[in-house]
Amino acid sequence: MNSLTQFKKISILPLLIGLAIVALVSPRVTRADAVTDWNAIASTAIVTNAGQPPPVSVLHFAMVHGAVYDAVNAIDRGHQPYLVQPNANPTDSKAAAAATAAFRVLVGFDNLAGLFPAQLPTWQPVYNAYIAGLPDNPPGSRAAGIAIGETTARAMLIARQNDGRFGPPPPLYLPAPGIWRPTPPFFANDPAPWVGNVRPFIVPSAEMLRTDGPNALTSAAYAEDFNEVKEVGSLDSTTRTADQTDAAIFWQDQAIALWNRIFRTLATNQNLAIVDSARFFAMENLAAADALIGCWNDKYYWQFWRPITAIREADTDGNPATEADPTWLPLFDPAIGVPPPPLVTPPFPDHPSGHCCATSAFVHTLQNFFGTDKIAFSAHSNKSGTTRSFDRFSDALKEVIDARVWAGIHFRTADVQGSVLGKKVAHYLEKHYFQPVQ
């Protein structure tokens, strides 16, 4: 029996979401802080309710948390603002400011559209109950926080108007050896090919993140990548271990939602004050947003084929060290039973790996924020139904690089170069943004 039968098509996500919302509005439940509370709400709105895939959802996590940061920082005034710094008093409610900024970016205003205006009936009562549960000490501090949050939310929504989101797709290259084309079994097209043309949040341009590109088809390096993924990434691989299989499926959970769950745990476990929490979530999500903008720009610059196409059509690549297998299947195949959507090769070009771009931006920003790599953490995946633990932040990045090969969906070079791209964004952010006020 295939060991993969352990992954059952069971989802308790709707129950968990309901319990989370009840917990958020119940005065008897001890909350972490408004930033982590509204990060969980934003994740539900963006990922669960709207169903946005990682390269789209990360743009909207960034918008929410950029506004939340500016709202909280306007009161604290300890760091440079991201967009704006409205007038505030030190006693104004940071919690009300954070909750309002997140809420308004998500649902908008009467005269300014938010991300999901149709979700207003869902979140208005949650927001009302949340604000009502906050202290108003001194009197007027809560109303002042609300006004600050509304100001920073407006600034974010206006700043991101006409930024390229949901624009036209880039042109595709003509079919040829090495060129991407839709892959079996569904032959789907990219649901968000426009992401690479979105105006970045942090870096001056996506083009400055250009990678070195995939290996030449006739090179020894390409053959090495090819033969590795062909062996360890196949559906019926005899060399991939059970733990490697678990890791591959674990990381196929919605990556942005998964990492933001990790951030909520870290913020709580590391006892971050609300000011630090606001800066932390903004840094992480803004870095990952630009990493995926740069990644998608790079994907459609190179338009390199996926392993399933390359292996099945290896007799066209001109490399004597590769051998075609017209029936080859990757581990990521619908035959593997997991919660929906099914496991498949992602419907966009191979190079660079989007997951590695985002994870590298996350991990290097974690290292920059905490000033160390050595913080242990655990995470649970809704895709595999398992929990994995790591001694260091960098251990997670190393595993993701491997996991995409074990899944049979990426050449290793795409993973490695994706991690370089994400690191570039994290380093640019560290140097140019969120600087302490002298």
Give pLDDT, residue 246. 98
Give pLDDT, residue 190. 98
Give pLDDT, residue 32. 72
Alpha carbon 42 to chain centroid, angstroms: 13
What is the band of 17 on the pLDDT scale with cuts at 50, 70, 90?
Answer: very low
The SS3 assignment for 389 reads strand
Q: What is the pLDDT of residues 136-167, one digit of tens each?
A: 999 999 999 999 999 999 999 999 999 999 99
**Is-contact 366 430, C-beta < 8 A?**
no
Average pLDDT of the residues in 366-374: 98
Sequence spans of domains, the chain: 3-159, 193-432
- Distance from C-alpha of 296 to C-alpha of 85, rounded to nearest angstrom: 32
Q: Is the pLDDT of residue 12 over 80?
A: no
Q: What is the pLDDT of residues 227-259, one digit of tens each?
A: 999 999 999 999 999 999 999 999 999 999 999
What is the band of 26 on the pLDDT scale with cuts at 50, 70, 90?
Answer: very low
Give pLDDT, residue 287. 99
Q: Is the dihedral of CA 420, 423, 429, 430 positive or negative?
A: negative
What is the band of 341 on the pLDDT scale with cuts at 50, 70, 90?
Answer: very high
- Distance from C-alpha of 259 to C-alpha of 200, rounded to nearest angstrom: 20
Return the ∠ at Cα 386 (arms to 383 and 390), rounded to 5°: 110
With a pLDDT cut of 90, the percent of the chain lying above it is 92
Burial environment of residue 386 by CB neighbours within 10 A (0 to 12, 13 to 18, 19 or more): middle
With a pLDDT cut of 70, the percent of the chain lying above it is 93
What is the band of 438 on the pLDDT scale with cuts at 50, 70, 90?
Answer: confident
What angle do the packed helices 141-159 and 94-107 form, to 10 degrees?
A: 40
What is the band of 378 on the pLDDT scale with cuts at 50, 70, 90?
Answer: very high
Average pLDDT of the residues in 14-30: 38
Q: Is the pLDDT of residue 361 over 60?
A: yes
Q: What is the pLDDT of residues 391-436, one digit of tens each?
A: 999 999 999 999 999 999 999 999 999 999 999 999 999 999 999 9
For the domain made up of 3-159, the CATH class stated in words is mainly alpha
Q: What is the pLDDT of residues 116-142, one digit of tens each?
A: 999 999 999 999 999 999 999 999 999
Q: Is the pLDDT of residue 24 over 90?
A: no
Tokens representing 399 are: 């595993």
Identical fold, 3-159 and 193-432: no
- For tokens 């990922």, what's the residue? 47
Q: How far is CA 235 from CA 4, 217, 386, in A?
A: 10, 24, 20
- Distance from C-alpha of 347 to C-alpha of 344, rounded to nearest angstrom: 8
Return the ∠ at Cα 205 (arms to 203 and 210), rounded to 5°: 100
Pick the CATH number of 193-432 from 3.40.50.2000, 1.10.606.20, 1.10.10.10, 3.40.50.11540: 1.10.606.20
- Distance from C-alpha of 5 to C-alpha of 384, rounded to nearest angstrom: 11
Tell me phi and psi for residue 212, to 5 degrees: -70, -20
What is the band of 23 on the pLDDT scale with cuts at 50, 70, 90?
Answer: very low
Long-range contacts of the stretch 6-14 (C-beta < 8 A, 24+): 6/385, 7/249, 7/336, 7/337, 7/338, 7/383, 7/384, 7/385, 8/337, 8/385, 9/337, 9/338, 9/339, 9/340, 10/339, 10/385, 11/339, 11/340, 11/382, 13/48, 13/382
Q: What is the pLDDT of residues 178-232, one digit of tens each?
A: 999 999 999 999 999 999 999 999 999 999 999 999 999 999 999 999 999 999 9
Q: Is the pLDDT of residue 280 over 70?
A: yes
Q: How far is CA 128 from CA 27, 42, 83, 118, 351, in A?
A: 13, 16, 26, 17, 45
User: What b/e readout covers 58-96, taking b as 16+ CB neighbours within 10 angstroms?
Assistant: bbbbbbbbbbbbbbbbbbbeebebbebbbebeeebbbbb
Q: What is the pLDDT of residues 30-44, one digit of tens each?
A: 347 999 999 999 999
What is the band of 346 on the pLDDT scale with cuts at 50, 70, 90?
Answer: very high
Tokens representing 234 are: 């196949």
Give pLDDT, residue 11. 32
Burial environment of residue 104 by CB neighbours within 10 A (0 to 12, 13 to 18, 19 or more): buried
Give pLDDT, residue 4. 37
Containing 379, the helix (H) or strand (E) segment is strand 377-380
Q: What is the pTM of this model?
A: 0.93
Average pLDDT of the residues in 58-64: 99
Which one, of 70, 111, 118, lies nearest residue 94 by Cα? Answer: 70
Q: Which residues neighbour 82 within 8 Å (Cβ) at sequence distance 6 or greater?
A: 66, 69, 70, 73, 282, 286, 433, 434
Alpha carbon 57 to chain centroid, angstroms: 7
Give the DSSP letter of residue 72: H
Tell me which amino acid residue 131 is: I
Neighbours of 107 (CB within 10 A): 22
Average pLDDT value for the chain: 94
Q: Which residues neighbour 164 within 8 Å (Cβ) at sequence distance 6 or greater?
A: 194, 197, 198, 199
**Is-contact 99 38, C-beta < 8 A?**
yes
Q: Is the dihedral of CA 345, 358, 255, 152 positive or negative?
A: negative
Q: Is the pLDDT of residue 22 over 60?
A: no
Give pLDDT, residue 14. 34
